[in-house]
Each structure stands twice: as C-alpha cells, then as structure tokens.
Amino acid sequence: MDGTLVDTEPYWIAVETELVESYGGTWTPEDGLQLVGNALIDSAKILRAAGVDMEPEAIVQLLTDRVSERLRVEGVPFRPGARELLADLRAAGIPTALVTMSLRRMALDVVSLIDFPAFDVVVAGDDVERPKPHPDPYLTAATQLGVDIADAVVIEDSPTGLAAGLASGATTLGVPHIVALDDLGAHELWPTLDGRTAADISDLRTRVGAGVAR
C-alpha cells in the first residue's frame, strides 16, 4: 500500500522524525528510508533504540494515529497509474488483494477512499504473525483469494516487499519509488504503473512462466 498504491512514505518519515526529536534524538531522511517496507513493530523497535522511550506496541499505535491524521488533513496521494490499473484488473475479472504492513484500520481507511470496490481481500500487518520479508502475508492473500501463489503477480516498491513476494513463489514486479530496487531479484522492474493495464500484468506473468522476463 504505502509507496505502491499511495505515496504516504513521506508522511511516515515525517512523523518518525517528530517522534524521535520529541525525545531529544535525531532522525535523518536516510534513517527513515531504512524502515520503508518494514513491519511496524520492527520499525518501532528501531525507533525505541533511537531514543523513543515508549513500548514498541505503543509506538506503532502512535505512528498509525499520526499518519492517519495527516491523511485526513492533507489527503491521500495515490501513486501514478495505481487506481487506473486496479480498475482495469477489476474490469478484466482478475481477483486482487491489498497486502500491507500497515495496520488493518489504516488500510481500510485508504481502501474506503477508492471510488470502486478495488480489492477482494485485505491482508494487513496485524493479520499475520510473520511479516514481510517472510512470504506469509502473500501466501495468506493467495489462500483467501483462492488462487495458486504461482499464478499471482506481486507489485512492490520496497526491498522488504520484494523479498516477501519472491519468497512466496509469486511473479514479483518492482516499481521503485523512494528506494532503489536494482539487483534485488525482481522478475521485472517498471519505472511507473502509469499507462499499464491488466494485459501488461497478464503478459508479465506469461513471460515469467516461460522464463523470458527481463
């Protein structure tokens, strides 16, 4: 979700910075980039090590509340082409799942702002015991969709997410946003989803199956 469907990573980095600085610590943009795609509880432990004197679970709830507030005040900036691709996938009858390490309550808030039923399934960070980079979130989504993971295409913007998709056995597409995804094993990298269609996704899956993805 964050960074692939919606451009919320700057919100996360901003609230992380505010939180660390409120405890007298320092938090650089580079520090924030290291948390992109992480499970929130893992990020919370890193923030605690940076000086935030709160329990990790409380940090997760506070970060979620503050990012949610920014979304309400500043709006949800969708990534180029993401909604349009989802709409085309739905029109083509292809089942879709949102797999995110954000909390379910935030994921459902974002989904509610899409003006059509974009997803059959939502798997959030608090729905699985082992988060990304483990394959569990994507395997859970495939099971709930009733599809073979080998027939699925994962779209990710983070190294952690790519690792999860690849470990699951899905065709894994990288669409980099604020961190590079070169040489991390993605079956293919697209610079953007803008202009992409369900036919492009189907073609990618076919080419990976034939061993000709690039």
DSSP lists the bridge partners of residue 6 as 2, 78
- The C-alpha atoms of residue 140 and residue 156 are separated, in whole angstroms, by 16
Can you give the residue range of the structural domain that contains 107?
82-209
Indicate the number of domains in the chain: 2
pLDDT in tens, 143-200: 999 999 999 999 999 999 999 999 999 999 999 998 899 999 999 999 999 999 999 9
Residues 67 and 94 grouped into a single domain: no
Between CA 162 and CA 166 the distance in angstroms is: 6
68/99 same-domain check:
no
**Collapsing DSSP states into helix, strand and coil, what is residue 212?**
coil
CATH of the domain at 164: 3.40.50.1000
Measure CA of the first residue to CA of the last residue in the chain; give whole Å. Answer: 24
Last residue of a domain, one of 46, 74, 102: 74
Q: Is residue 2 part of a domain?
A: no
The model carries a pTM of 0.85
Both 67 and 165 in one domain: the answer is no
